[in-house]
Structure 1
Amino acid sequence: MFSTAVIAGSTIRFGSRLISVGDSEGMVLRIAGKPSSREPVENRFGALRGYRLEYDFDNKTVFITVIQGRVSDIQEIYR
């Protein structure tokens, strides 16, 4: 049986550095590195709003949503 937990927050730690809601996409890439995947985020009309960056770790996946160049949401999914 599998169990997952989703945690949304305003910060996430990568090593000794923090990424927070409001940080720039450039800051995320400098701190966290290249994401495992980068999916577009569109509005209801199909226009590009930003990207959802995915980072995979041994026991969790981190999704960082970047809208208009700034972090708008951080989610951790524990496996």
Structure 2
Amino acid sequence: MRRLLLIPMLILASASALASSTIRFGSRLVSVGDTEGMVLKVAGRPDSREPVENKYGALLGYRLEYDLDNKTVLITVLQGRVTDIQEIYR
């Protein structure tokens, strides 16, 4: 019985591990877990840089915005590491 429960749990865990976010800038990739310095090296200066704050106003990190051909890419950097990558198509 335990094995029957373990198999679906392992499948769900492996699926979420494969769903890591990456974005391509030219021939290079930016991935969740990369440092902010690596993002700037690969993608260059962002078109916009917005602070990310907690509910008390303390700075947690930044949201970097890049305007590409037909989309906007939002890269959230918290504590110096990429935590989220979003693509917004126009």
Q: Which bracket does the TM-score occupy, shorter chain normalised?
A: 0.7 to 0.9
Q: Which structure features the higher share of helix residues?
A: 2
Q: Tell me what 1:52 maps to.
A: 63
Q: Tell me what 2:75 maps to.
A: 64
State the alpha-carbon separation in 1 of the partners of residues 80 and 47 from structure 2: 19
Q: Tell me what 1:18 maps to.
A: 29
Q: 1:36 aligns with which of 47, 50, 68?
A: 47
Tell me the amino acid that sits aligned with residue 77 of structure 1: I
When the two structures are aligned, how many residues end up with a matched partner?
Answer: 71
**After TM superposition, where is structure 1 displaced by more than 2 Å over at least 4 residues in a row?**
none
SS at match of 1:61: strand
TM-score using structure 1 length = 0.87
> Post-superposition shift, 1:58?
2.1
SS at match of 1:62: strand
* Superimposed CA distance per residue, residues 44-79 of structure 1 (whole angstroms, 9 cap, x where no aligned partner): 111000000000012000000000000000000001
Choose between structure 1 and 2 for higher RCO, CA contacts under 8 A separated by at least 6 residues: 1
Gaps of 5+ in 2: 1-19
Tell me the amino acid that sits aligned with residue 60 of structure 1: K
State the alpha-carbon separation in 2 of the partners of residues 29 and 10 from structure 1: 17
State the alpha-carbon separation in 1 of the partners of residues 56 and 75 from structure 2: 22
Q: Which structure features the higher share of strand residues?
A: 1
The structure having more radius of gyration, on CA atoms, is: 2
Q: Tell me what 2:86 maps to.
A: 75
Percent identity, aligned pairs only, is 80
State the alpha-carbon separation in 1 of the partners of residues 21 and 57 from structure 2: 27
